[in-house]
Structure 1
């Protein structure tokens, strides 16, 4: 079972997400709490995935995210947002969130998105993607890495980064490049370290900023 913790200041949102996700055979919502109880709930309940409201009146969602990411084995975190343009999502991606969802996501697709998250795949709501990418890429640290990181990567790591940026899983990358799963994992770990990013979504955004995706075309 995929264990999910829902963190939102609105009881209606918490109950709605809980109802939707618990209807899936392989997902269990182990807790639904407000922001003040979020860090404690993560420690006590040990969720695999946390759906975290980015804007809460009692506790800042980014503060909760930072505290969760400091754990030795943090869960996968996806931010929940109501706004099509939310500048805080870019900061959340830099801090370690693996994705973001709008709160009115189609209930039929929500369980599938949670499965993608727990499998380590980024989940990015297309309605806010352009705003988030723009905010993320404007960060000075990302600009600096984008100008220096390519020289530190091998040609094979660049190949892996390109396919990772297309949303391919490690298994799909291995099949495309004729590499073993273990070799792909080693390349992904190496390129994340060289780019000084936390996860695949940050690496994909870095690739766009560096212009690597533009170079991959005909």
Structure 2
């Protein structure tokens, strides 16, 4: 239930915070605080049963307020989720936000119902990204500046097999789907994924996918399954991007 999700609001614009606070209260979220500076965020109350979750929503505003504070908040509230609420979609800002440890990046054009759904996904440990990023991925990253991919993989020494798997990560495929598509074992896929994360110096598959698209790798070249079977959620396909816009 929504009242099990605790919310802290952070942003310089009091009107925006108040509007968001009222929306969330109507949806039965528990609002812990609404402040204009991270130093005013209260420590979380102790929950002996370990129930519920805590989300810090940051209104970045036109001056990117909050981005610079994400790493500090991640260290201070390691068990909390962090969501950035941005005025507009900027690819570099999205990438920097997830490198800083955020769990969700939402553009303000979102309507109420998708916003509430997105917060629920974040509270369950899912990563939420703007729909514009999904569109950029679908178009092979054509909506933002791309660097030369071949130069990039030479610099980090990715093998051709690792490049194939990285393309599959962009598409959000689970290990067993990658295994089926490339006709290799899941154990081998896991080894390659670990090597990719180490070489790219990122901590998870989402960050690896963002890095790859930023550097010009196109996902549509990922290997297709030999039997042409349509893959669904039961087959282990789990997109790394969640649609945030109405």
In structure 1, list runs of 5 or more residues that go unmatched: none
Matching residue of 2:24? 21
Q: 1:20 to 1:206 in 2, by over 3 A?
A: same
> Quick one: which of 123, 127, 152 aligns to 1:118?
123
Q: Check if 1:50 corresponds to 2:53.
A: no
- Corresponding residue SS for 1:4: strand
Deviation at 1:164, TM superposition (A): 4.7
> Contact 2:86–2:107 at 8 Å: present in 1 too?
yes
Do the aligned partners of 1:3 and 1:29 also contact (CA within 8 Å) in 2?
Answer: yes
TM-score where L is the length of structure 1:
0.65
Determine if contact 1:54/1:60 at 8 Å carries over to the other structure: yes
Give the C-alpha shift of residue 76 in structure 1: 2.3
Task: Give the secondary structure class of the aligned counterpart of 1:48.
Answer: strand
Counterparts of 2:209 and 2:66, CA distance in 1: 23
After superposition, residues 69-108 of structure 1 pair within 5 angstroms as 69-71=74-76, 73-85=78-90, 88-108=93-113
Report the CA distance between 1:113 and its aligned residue: 0.5
Q: CA deviation at 1:201?
A: 3.2
Measure the CA separation in 2 of the matches of 1:151 and 1:109. Answer: 38
Which of the pair has the greater relative contact order for Cα pairs under 8 Å at 6+ separation? Answer: 2
Q: Which residue of 2 aligns with 1:4?
A: 7
1:30 has 2:32 as partner? yes
- Tell me, yes or no, if the aligned pair for 2:6 and 2:32 is still in contact at 8 Å: yes
SS of alignment partner, residue 88 of structure 2? coil
**Aligned runs of 1:149-164 on 2, under 5 Å?**
151=158, 159=165, 164=169
Count residues in correspondence. 203
Structure-1 separation of matches of 2:15 and 2:161:
49
2:45 and 2:190 map into 1 onto residues whose CA distance is 29
Does the residue aligned with 1:29 lie in a helix, a strand or coil?
Answer: strand
* 1:67 alignment partner, one of 48, 69, 72: 72
Deviation at 1:92, TM superposition (A): 2.1
CA–CA separation in structure 2 for the residues paired with 1:20 and 1:186: 45
Deviation (angstroms), 1:145 = 7.0
Kindly tell me: are residues 207 and 108 of structure 1, through their superposed partners in 2, closer, same or farther at Cα, counting changes over 3 Å?
Answer: same
Structure 2 CA distance for partners of 1:29 and 1:193, relative to 1, 3 Å: farther
What SS does the aligned partner of 1:12 have? helix
Which residues in structure 2 correspond to 1:125-144 (within 5 Å)?
125-127=130-132, 130=136, 134=144
Q: CA deviation at 1:197?
A: 1.8
Greater fraction of residues in helix: 1
Q: Which residue of 2 aligns with 1:206?
A: 211
The structure with the larger Rg is 2
